[in-house]
Structure 1
Amino acid sequence: MHIKGIYNSPKGSKEEPCQASSYKRDILNYLLNSSAYDARIAPDYEKDVATEVDVQLFVTSIDSINAISMTWRDSRLNFSHISNISVLELDQRRIDDVWVPDTYFQNEKSASVHTVTVPNKLFHIYNDGFVIYSIRLSLTLSCIMDLRFFPMDDQTCSIFMESYGYSIENVALKWNPDDPVIFGLDDNDEQTLPQFYFYKPLETKGCSTVNSFNTEFSCLEAKLFFQRNLGFYMSQVFIPSMMIVILSWISFWIHVDAVPARVSLGVICVLTMTTQSSGIRSSLPVVSYIKAIDIWMAVGLLFVFAALLEYAYINVQTRKHRKQTKVMSSN
């Protein structure tokens, strides 16, 4: 492994460039000295001013948030007066010695931090006290959906971020003004999910919440607007159910005396529609209202069941007619 370093020696000094690493280490030790720097308090806590934290999300695929980056300014980490070095890159093991925002995702169901081969964290300190902190993670977020028009529905899902322990008086979150959310997709990829696609650009805004202790916290919200792709349901639900209904109508052309054939065809079509409807419901959450797909499957089942009832009625009427004809002919 080759390490390249740039070291600016003090004027008149004859130190070699190989001493750059130890020089940077001395700067870090100076900045993070426990007697002068306290990682347990926010940068502007003593000034009674909220520390502004810029937040940026980096998404490699729509169904997985890959990284969150935060930037802020900590005047305690300003080292421009002692060195010409522009930036210090901290090892992930030294990050615990520096204050970082306690940002969390309000609607998170599960999350994991990438730790292969080490915890994937980035921490850069610039000579003016500007700090960049980035961490790779994967999140599963909750989203309340309205399925009344399923599968011809559109959904709005939000990403909520908030400071957990610091009130709005100490930490103020705000979106990165240039690119709040970056989709790191290839040029040939589309911003789509297997079942959804974006039908309008995402929206970002700042917000605030008040907890049960009447304390106000700074938060951020990003809204994603999805519309369901009908391709799967056209090929797996709508077209097959229409074919089953048409198949049940074939019994109208079968001779009325072919009782086993017509009854078997009608019963099979009814059972097939029932099984298909059950399979669709099993893949959806239980809701108390009727969905559009329920109406479609119910109407299809009604047509198939009506075809079976039609044969039962015609069979009875045919036997009655034959009986009357036989009686009249015998007389």
Structure 2
Amino acid sequence: MLPLTWEDDGVLFLGTRYLLEYYLRKEIYSSFVDHNTSIAGLELWFKNQYRYYIGNVMLPSIMLVILCYVTLYFDINDFNDRIMVSLTSLLVLVTFFTDTSQSIPKTAYFKLIDVWFMSLMFEDFFVILSIVYVEYVHRRTLPGSFIRVQPADFKAEAPNPAAPSPDVKRLNRHLRTAFTCSLTLVLLIFIPIGSYSLNVNYHEMSNAEAEKEEEEEV
């Protein structure tokens, strides 16, 4: 139930205007008669609290993607840790996206927050594919199973057959560079778009509010 009170020809909201995700900018009361029926309407104007989304949605999600990206710096022979950390990052990100989608208004079109999460999930997904591909190339470059027979007094250290070849190291290095560029590109695209959207919505709401006040004065 909304805590409202009458004020002149309108109403005044008595509760807190700062909600978790929105700020109540204005409340407008209107009444008219239609076919001998009195109708009263209440219009509430909300503004997004963008700081909530930055601190509780965008920062944790980008941290998960960075955590997945860091697995490319793990030892190439440590495939289990590389794949487990990246998979866990993707699963947590998908769960985070599901929880966030349930807490915001549902629309028939893609919102900016949806595109943000989808971009990060694709980033994680391709990192996982890259780790699997590096492991595949690494295993193909390993020599076949063999038994090395050495004299009892042989002191030399045999080469490690599991060491990644220079080609595998080069591939992993190129993938790190590629994902660094792609993640930077995502941030460079979304930060200006997000700032522009906030400014446009604010100016549109301000213009609509000014037009509404002019109509009321007339």
Note whether the superposition's TM-score is higher than 0.5: yes
**In the alignment, does 2:6 pair up with 1:64?**
no
Task: Count the aligned residue pairs.
Answer: 145
2:30 pairs, out of 205, 217, 220, with 205
2:45 pairs, out of 214, 217, 225, with 225
**In the alignment, does 2:96 pair up with 1:266?**
no
What's the counterpart of residue 211 of structure 2?
none
Measured against aligned partners, the alpha-carbon deviations of 1:131-179 in whole angstroms (never above 9, x if no partner) come to: xxxxxxxxxxxxxxxxxxxxxxxxxxxxxxxxxxxxxxxxxxxxx7x35
Measured at CA, do residues 273 and 184 of structure 1 come closer, stay the same or move farther in structure 2, by a change above 3 Å? closer
1:191 pairs, out of 1, 8, 17, with 17
**Structure 1 stretches of 5 or more lacking a match?**
1-62, 70-175, 210-214, 327-331
Contact 2:10 2:29 survives alignment (8 Å): yes
Contact 2:12 2:27 survives alignment (8 Å): no
Q: How does 1:113-128 map to 2 (within 5 A)?
A: none
- Bigger CA radius of gyration: 1
Query: What do you get for the CA RMSD once the two structures are aligned?
Result: 2.8
SS at match of 1:310: helix
SS at match of 1:240: helix
Contact 2:3 2:14 survives alignment (8 Å): no
Tell me which protein shows more helix as a share of its residues: 2
What's the counterpart of residue 181 of structure 2?
none
The residue type equivalent to 1:181 in the other structure is V
SS at match of 1:64: coil
Q: Tell me how far 1:226 sits from its aligned partner.
A: 0.5
Q: Tell me how far 1:64 sits from its aligned partner.
A: 1.8
Q: Tell me how far 1:281 sits from its aligned partner.
A: 2.6
Q: Tell me how far 1:285 sits from its aligned partner.
A: 5.9
Q: Tell me how far apart the structure 2 counterparts of residues 64 and 202 of structure 1 sit (CA, whole Å).
A: 11
The residue type equivalent to 2:79 in the other structure is V
Tell me which protein shows more strand as a share of its residues: 1
The residue type equivalent to 1:230 in the other structure is Y
What's the TM-score once normalised by structure 2's chain length? 0.56
2:11 pairs, out of 181, 187, 190, with 181
Measured at CA, do residues 305 and 197 of structure 1 come closer, stay the same or move farther in structure 2, by a change above 3 Å? same
Q: Tell me how far apart the structure 2 counterparts of residues 226 and 183 of structure 1 sit (CA, whole Å).
A: 13
Q: Tell me how far apart the structure 1 counterparts of residues 32 and 95 of structure 2 sit (CA, whole Å).
A: 47
Q: Percent identity?
A: 21
The residue type equivalent to 1:223 in the other structure is E
Measured at CA, do residues 182 and 283 of structure 1 come closer, stay the same or move farther in structure 2, by a change above 3 Å? closer
Q: How does 1:298-309 map to 2 (within 5 A)?
A: 298-309=118-129
Q: Tell me how far apart the structure 2 counterparts of residues 287 and 197 of structure 1 sit (CA, whole Å).
A: 20
Q: Tell me how far 1:313 sits from its aligned partner.
A: 1.1
Measured against aligned partners, the alpha-carbon deviations of 1:168-202 in whole angstroms (never above 9, x if no partner) come to: xxxxxxxx7x35213447xxxx6333322134x44
**Structure 2 stretches of 5 or more lacking a match?**
145-160, 162-218
Q: Tell me how far apart the structure 2 counterparts of residues 193 and 298 of structure 1 sit (CA, whole Å).
A: 27
